[in-house]
Each structure stands twice: as structure tokens, then as C-alpha cells.
Structure 1
Amino acid sequence: MSPDDPLLKILACPLDKGPLTLLEAEEALYNPRLRRRYPIVDGIPQLLPSSGEPVSEEEHRRLVRRTGAGRPNRRTRS
């Protein structure tokens, strides 16, 4: 999966239904709101609630710094 994959625009977290951030180097999708990481296996996102793994506070800070994942999404503002 790449950052310009159109599938990324429609994928959502199975728990809060919000957008996910691609962690390309880790082959995962990340929800910074719930601090959960979902693996991508053989190019297929594993988006079952049980597939998500919790991320530690330290790991969350690292991911937000690297990806800007915690910033508000302007598309969703009204």
C-alpha cells in the first residue's frame, strides 16, 4: 500500500470509524485517537477490532512526530 492509494481515503478504523494514517515503513495503519495500530499483511489491511494492537505513550509520540498523525484533518471539519 502506498500513500497515494485511493483505498486510503475510504478506509476507517473499525472502532471509531475515523480516518487512519499509513505507516508505510511498518506496513500498518494507525489511529492516533485510540492509539491503535492495524497491520497490513500481503497488501491487505487487517481491520478487525481484534487485529488492532495498542500503542504505548512513547510509541504514540514517535508516530505523531514522524507522521503528523495527531493533527486535525481539515476535510472533516465543518
Structure 2
Amino acid sequence: MSAEGSRAAQIKPFVRQALVCPVDKGPLLDAGDELYNPRLRVAYRIDADGIAVMLADEARKVDEAEHQRLTA
């Protein structure tokens, strides 16, 4: 999937600008169908309707290999 076709890219800019990690309140990287926090190495999914699920208990842990890919 191209970056333009990702769920992260489809979030309206004013909404995307307001989205931060609910744990450390820091910025998130667009990671396809997720938003990624490289500091905590967790990803927040974006559902099929384009709504970011910003719940700490639903965040997905990211391993070292995926972290390297997402931050490259």
C-alpha cells in the first residue's frame, strides 16, 4: 500500500496534528494503518473507518526489526 493510500494518510490534517501518544503525550509517526511511537515502541491501530484507536491497553508492542524499519 502506498503512503497516500494508508489509513494514517487519510486522517484529516487538523485531526492528525492533535493526535499524540496517550502515555507520553509525544508525537507519533505515520506507519501505514497505524500510528507509531518510537520512544515507547508501540503502535496504535487505525480502524477501517479511519479512526485512530488511541488506547494504551490496545497498543501493539513493536520488536527491534520492525522499529528499525519504521524509523528508517
Q: TM-score range with shorter-chain normalisation?
A: 0.7 to 0.9
With structure 1 as the length reference, what TM-score do the two structures score?
Answer: 0.73
Higher relative contact order (CA 8 A, sep 6+): 2
With structure 2 as the length reference, what TM-score do the two structures score?
Answer: 0.79
Q: How many residues align?
A: 63
> Which residue in the other structure is 1:34 paired with?
40
- Matches for 1:62-73 after TM superposition, within 5 Å: 62-65=69-72
Question: Which structure 2 segments of 5+ residues have no match?
Answer: 1-7
> Which residue in the other structure is 1:58 paired with?
65
Question: Which structure 1 segments of 5+ residues have no match?
Answer: 66-78
Structural RMSD (CA): 1.5
Instruction: Tell me the distance in 2 between the aligned counterparts of 1:58 and 1:48.
Output: 24
Identity across the alignment (%): 43
> Which residue in the other structure is 1:9 paired with?
17
